[in-house]
Structure 1
Amino acid sequence: MQLNGKVAVVTGSGRGLGLAYAKALAAAGAAVVVNDVDAGTAAAAVKEIEDAGGRAVAQPAEVGTAQAAQTLVDRAVDAFGRLDIMVTNAGVLRDRVLWKMTDDDFDTVVRVHLRGTFTCVRAAVQHMREQGDGGRVIVAGSPAGQRGNFGQTNYAAAKAGIAAMVRTWAMELERAGITANAVIPVAATAMTRTIPAFAPHIEALEQHGTPLPDSLRKAEGFGTPEDVAPLVAFLASDAAAGITGQCIGIGGDRLALWSHPQEIAVAYADGGWSAETIAAAWPVSVGRTPETYGIPAPRTQEETAR
């Protein structure tokens, strides 16, 4: 899993999952461009990496625009001479139910997550193709993008779009030797702190160093950012050269491959369907076992004990 001589950009890597990714890549030998919207946070992350013996530089920017994306690529090339790995992790939340979600709530999340991923990956692969020796695109998906989640129209839509882009990029970039995969993490972060079943465990972990219990690490696949980071290091390595177009889940002790959407039941009618024949066929054919939706709610300690 050595990444000596490789150069990576990790967006949103000043803290949380992004910082864990940047540290894992640096520990494997890659030079890393640390990006955060806050310059002080980015600088502190660089110091942490350098204190551990790694190489890193900071590039503050708010991802979403083509200009910000190009700035990150240019920083990698100027500081380290090349770019091999683009990890898009930057994100924001504006959670509200549909009828209360504003245009700004929607546009902000889509701009950072979906457009930010698009612009950063586009700028990166343009340079990787010019280099001519392949590369790695690793983007951040979410269970919300795979299944939907209450109050997250904007976030779920952006993450579903990211998964679709990965599948498209896997085809478009194959001849250039560039892989594209999505990581679907489940970890103790500011985003998951609001979930009642996770909150007390995250608090105990942060305040007292209490390890997360097996009921979370295995049953829920829920862990720390450091549990997720090895997947990013693996996907960035030569060992993952044959893996592309995949959505891969990781959290706690669990590693999983998410399925792509596909037809699961089919029915036919000679000459086509009318509304009436669909209504008659639905409960006994394609609609017999409808698909579930939404992220299954984790159980609290009290619920588990009952």
Structure 2
Amino acid sequence: MDLTGKVAVVTGAGRGLGLAYVTALAAAGAAVVVNDVDEQAAAAAVKTVTEAGGRAVAEAGPVGTAEVADRLVARAVDEFGRLDVLVTNAGILRDRVLWKMSDEDFDDVIRVHLRGTFTCARAAAVRMREQGEGGTIVLVASPAGQRGNFGQTNYAAAKAGIAAMARTWSMELGRAGITVNAIVPVAATAMTETIPAFAPYIEAWKNGAPLPDWIRHDEGFGTPEDCAAVVPFLASEAARDVTGQCIGIGGDRLALWSHPQEVAADFAAGGWTPEAIAERWAQGAGREPQTVGIAPPKPPQDAEAAR
């Protein structure tokens, strides 16, 4: 993928998945504005890019406000003359079960993930439409937003909203030649290591052990770098017809998530009564109840194969 001449903004890009996206975009030839709330992390990411021969500048700040979003777009234009790609990766966790979650826990996550995605995408869309040459907006969703996850009311709600934004904005921005997709990465990061089922494998990986082949293949769980390839692809001419999609990537797996849709239906002439629903639910519309939650990894029974 040759992205020479293109300019990207990546939020939450000082480490983890964001840094992997920055590195992949720069390696493909794009100039990148690296955003992170941690100024030192953003500067370190820029150093990584420039030492490899790429072009990047840092613009620190917490996403969520229109002021920060406008500043990120302005920095791209001031430094590199334009904006072609936005990746909204910034995020935080404030995990609590519903009855223990505070207003602040909820609001903080919604502000960074959902409002941060909205304000940054709005600012980018304004600039891209003014340029009149199309563009690429890549939102970052999560399996938690697709399936729900215990203890993540705020995070799952925000990520579900981000997937809905991708579908909506792909329609609104299509005439301007701007594609909008959500990616659903699954990788060993500071966020996923808080999930008990994945924690032992991430800890071993951090200590130098490779992730097992089965977890890369069967679970689609890998390193941040494994998830990065989809971003240059979506920013390239090869993906001009790809929009409004939720694309999963992780380990050895690339996948397409479905949009919410009816899976079963039943009909009653003249409408339904509560009693009729109760009588026919199990054999009618409710005959295939949907599962919820992110399934824990299932190591192979063969201990040798699990290595």
User: Shorter-chain TM-score: what band?
Assistant: over 0.9
Partner residue, 1:299: 298
Q: Which amino acid aligns with 1:105?
A: D
Partner residue, 2:156: 156
Cα distance in 1 for partners of 2:90, 2:211 equals 25
Partner residue, 1:250: 249
Cα distance in 2 for partners of 1:300, 1:203 equals 16
The question of whether the paired residues in 2 share the 8 Å contact of 1:197 and 1:299 is answered with no
The answer to whether 1:264 aligns with 2:263 is yes
The question of whether the paired residues in 1 share the 8 Å contact of 2:214 and 2:299 is answered with no
Alignment of 1:2-151 (within 5 A): 2-151=2-151
SS in structure 2 of the partner of residue 193 of structure 1? helix
SS in structure 2 of the partner of residue 184 of structure 1? strand
SS in structure 2 of the partner of residue 139 of structure 1? strand
Give the superposition deviation at 1:205. Answer: 2.0
Give the superposition deviation at 1:171. Answer: 0.5
Gaps of 5+ in 2: none
Cα distance in 2 for partners of 1:220, 1:257 equals 15
CA RMSD between the two structures: 1.3
Partner residue, 1:228: 227
* Per-residue deviation, residues 20-58 of structure 1 (Å, max 9, x unmatched): 000000000000000000111111110010000100000
SS in structure 2 of the partner of residue 284 of structure 1? coil
Partner residue, 2:273: 274
Gaps of 5+ in 1: none
Percent sequence identity over aligned pairs = 70
Q: Which amino acid aligns with 1:169?
A: W
Give the superposition deviation at 1:300. Answer: 5.7
Q: Sort the Cα spacing of 1:304 and 1:88 in 2 relative to 1 into closer, same or farther, 3 A.
A: farther
Partner residue, 1:190: 190
SS in structure 2 of the partner of residue 167 of structure 1? helix
Q: State the TM-score, normalizing by the size of structure 1.
A: 0.97
Cα distance in 1 for partners of 2:79, 2:18 equals 20
Q: State the TM-score, normalizing by the size of structure 2.
A: 0.97
Cα distance in 2 for partners of 1:39, 1:227 equals 25
Q: Which amino acid aligns with 2:26?
A: A
Cα distance in 2 for partners of 1:128, 1:109 equals 27
Aligned length: 304
Cα distance in 2 for partners of 1:55, 1:234 equals 19
Cα distance in 2 for partners of 1:184, 1:115 equals 18
SS in structure 2 of the partner of residue 180 of structure 1? strand
Cα distance in 1 for partners of 2:201, 2:290 equals 31
Give the superposition deviation at 1:131. Answer: 0.1
